[in-house]
Structure 1
């Protein structure tokens, strides 16, 4: 077309701009300018240099790795992280010092509470299983641990020739000891790992031999160690009119050992059963039992199997209490007196005589009011709890924490709702757990150090041996 540009050709200025932005080779491929090529190369070199300077996470040394693990928020999180690979599991499992440090920083968490079936013992073999209520912690790893366990105790239904009637009588380091009174049998079960041991008899036949007068047996107690997760012991205390003896079951021999009778101070009561049947207590390698009149405390050193009897302070005569460990590991008694909580420490005088010395008594009425007001719009429950002079009942003491329940002092029955709480002995601050009827015995379940992170046992030993070849 004369006097104008062709409509199918771009204007010269625009064509000039496009051709200056890139070069075209004989195959029609675009190449960036030399300046751009140099910039890309420098950025690529910097990324490669950084990659060379930062070693992959699986190449971290054990010391640095354990320092990182020490800062994890909970034991459940540590388990998830350590089981990521064999090297990490081996680093944790082979370091007792790390386990001690981790326990100091992160006390074992409460996962929930087992409640015994309401009502009297049911016979013959009427189905009766404890119920479990989780603590509802805001920790996804703790929640996942509960979901992955068997806290409904369904594994017990797989036991051959056993009636479906089990009661929890003790718990220790993640294991629970259950008894079937109708079949006179015991079983040890770990709900978290789903590991169940074989059933064994409730005591030897000769445990009452050479007794004097009326005899009775007390609920058995479970002994276990974090550093030896493959074995356990069960101690059964029996008494006649004025003596006691221990019988010990060992998972190493799968047999009962009957020890000698020991004389102890006489009870002030007239009851034939003069030692409390319920309430197993243990701390720092000692088992404890209380006289029915609450005048004396019987202790058993589980290392030497020697008994000792001490007189209890008067402040414990009409109180609920438990024996456990403070955060620093010291043995203590924590008791409740209405809305007050007292702490006694275990000491020895210059002559080596054991004593329980009062450390402090703390009123918890205001602290209780504070923690119960959180999230409550209706003050009816709070006013009933505090104004009606309700009591606090001590359920358990472990690793610096006390587990409590509130019990209304008037018109209490099995349908009365109670608050379940935890108390930090170091700060004396309460934490509200949940509200539920208090119809029978309660057993707090504390997450223990898992067997998979202690030494090399079973399949872990084989895996580690193969990986080191």
Structure 2
């Protein structure tokens, strides 16, 4: 007679394990990374729990990294009294992070292209050559870097058989950017996407760090998307073969968004299934600068800069794309914010739950800035729509990169 199987005895947690579990639950409830960093310095047991890679990944998922500063010719941190100023101060030290990427081989030949989740994507040209028009159309050298831990990965070139998906002379724009890893991948996993825009089609070249290889996805009918016709666009000033039809890229809820010039529409790339679609902009959109942000409950928000006439004051309108019910996929106006006077405004970008605006004194050109240039940047917290002074700088930030992150002591390696 076979005796019934005995249940496997459960290992009882030790008092130390129970104490660590309780500490994790307490530390996960600290909203401020600065408070968490101070707790880590309090004693060895606190530091052991907080420095654990699994804990930090869980904490980062619950508390997205704040906007700490911008990278122009150097790192410009958030300044007091902004809430991010304390965390940004750590990055202002020369040894906290290397945003010049001097740890890369031949660092002078690399150019920043994108950043996400503590990683930066850089493109390079062969040694001994400066950037030329052709270098920006078809890029062969790409590197993903972690400036805090001074690590990098050089990506393999796109294989010739995949590159054959496009006729390179037909490319009007070749845009590389970082995408979130596929769901279920490790915390140090990432994807790089290169969007090749041609006259009649779009091609995505996708590199997955988990697989270590490239694959390509082709979308035909691009001409119909931008012209509203079924045939390729006609030649002339509006010929899409002559220039890019897409504006600055934005990211929200695992999707990328581009404004399609002259069409009053957004191009949407869903990174989960690598599917492309379009969305109509609000009917009352007047043509000002726009951005796409992550609103609460998985919704998409759209701040838009407009100038009020006849006074010339700038305001920021905020609309939300509804996702449920009878008004799904329709834009609903949420807020209208007046901006400080006597300044012209540009949208710098979005990171860490903030929209960053730069205020330019009237009559000043950033193409030919004066020696005593003094720019004020303002941040708009998307969750509360609260506008605050972020920093002042004498640097031109036309091509600045926003940096969102946690203090170096709370930033595990991202690659």
Give the TM-score taking structure 1 as reference length: 0.65
1:326-341 equivalences in 2 (<5 Å)? 326=295, 329-338=298-307, 339-341=314-316
Q: CA deviation at 1:284?
A: 0.9
Name the counterpart of 2:387: 429
- Encode CA deviations 1:225-275: one digit per residue, 9 max, x unaligned: 598332111111122223222110111233221112332434353342554
User: Secondary structure in 2 aligned to 1:298?
Assistant: strand
User: Secondary structure in 2 aligned to 1:108?
Assistant: coil
Name the counterpart of 2:9: none
Bigger relative contact order (CA 8 A; separation at least 6): 2
Name the counterpart of 2:335: 360
Kept after mapping to 2: 8 A contact 1:327/1:399 = no
Kept after mapping to 1: 8 A contact 2:349/2:402 = yes
Q: List alignment gaps of at least 5 residues for structure 2.
A: 1-14, 128-139, 228-237, 308-313
Q: Does 1:165 align with 2:109?
A: yes
Q: Does 1:412 align with 2:412?
A: no
Q: Whose Rg is larger?
A: 1
1:303 to 232, 249, 272: 272
Structure 1 residues 132 and 273: CA distance shift in structure 2, 3 A: farther
Q: List alignment gaps of at least 5 residues for structure 1.
A: 1-56, 116-129, 369-385, 459-469
1:279 to 221, 228, 248: 248
Distance in 2, Cα, partners of 1:261 & 1:180: 27
Q: CA deviation at 1:447?
A: 0.3
Structure 1 residues 251 and 95: CA distance shift in structure 2, 3 A: closer
Q: Does 1:144 align with 2:102?
A: no
Kept after mapping to 1: 8 A contact 2:301/2:320 = yes
Higher helix share: 1
Structure 1 residues 275 and 343: CA distance shift in structure 2, 3 A: farther
Give the TM-score taking structure 2 as reference length: 0.72
Distance in 2, Cα, partners of 1:111 & 1:282: 18
Kept after mapping to 1: 8 A contact 2:304/2:317 = yes
Q: CA deviation at 1:166?
A: 2.2
Kept after mapping to 1: 8 A contact 2:162/2:215 = no
User: Secondary structure in 2 aligned to 1:78?
Assistant: helix
1:320-469 equivalences in 2 (<5 Å)? 320-326=289-295, 329-338=298-307, 339-348=314-323, 354-364=329-339, 368=340, 386-387=341-342, 390-408=343-361, 410-414=363-367, 415=369, 416-425=373-382, 426-438=384-396, 440-447=398-405
CA RMSD of superposed structures (Å): 3.8
Kept after mapping to 1: 8 A contact 2:67/2:352 = no
Name the counterpart of 2:76: 133
- Encode CA deviations 1:353-398: one digit per residue, 9 max, x unaligned: 734333222222xxx3xxxxxxxxxxxxxxxxx24xx332222234
Distance in 2, Cα, partners of 1:201 & 1:137: 44
Q: CA deviation at 1:60?
A: 7.2
Name the counterpart of 1:292: 261
Distance in 2, Cα, partners of 1:212 & 1:187: 22
Q: How many residues align?
A: 358
- Encode CA deviations 1:167-208: one digit per residue, 9 max, x unaligned: 221111111111124573111112223222224437866435
User: Secondary structure in 2 aligned to 1:410?
Assistant: coil
